[in-house]
Amino acid sequence: NAGVTQTPKFQVLKTGQSMTLQCAQDMNHEYMSWYRQDPGMGLRLIHYSVGAGITDQGEVPNGYNVSRSTTEDFPLRLLSAAPSQTSVYFCASSYSSPAGLQETQYFGPGTRLLVL
């Protein structure tokens, strides 16, 4: 059981380049989320998914796209990278209780992205 895995660990991009951050979980969790972490800002929600085929925007979605074709995978795409997207990106997954409330989240190790 690997939990939540993220690739790559580090990435340097030039402004305007595109890339995909990968996230996978092997816990059969329904919910998956992407956060970005900036100094002094805590973690901010970018996009989330409540199940395969369903995604929704979080607090800071602009400049990012997501898709959820399988339960296991939730990639985050930067179509045209900007310096403001320099950050540490965390993927998280969680169960859903029968009551529909979100259970606690498990985080991946993070992807450190630098956009020049």
Q: Are 23 and 2 in contact (CB under 8 A)?
A: no
Q: Are 109 and 8 in contact (CB under 8 A)?
A: no
In the complex, the smallest distance separating the C-beta of residue 66 from other proteins, rounded to whole angstroms, is 13
Nearer CB in complex with other proteins: 41/116: 41
Stretch that binds other proteins, among 19-27, 33-41, 62-70, 72-80 (CB under 8 A): 33-41
Site string for other proteins, 35-74 (x = CB under 8 A): x----xxxxxx--x-x-------xxx--------------
Give Cβ neighbours of residue 78 (< 8 Å, ≥ 6 apart). 13, 18, 19, 20, 21, 63, 64, 85
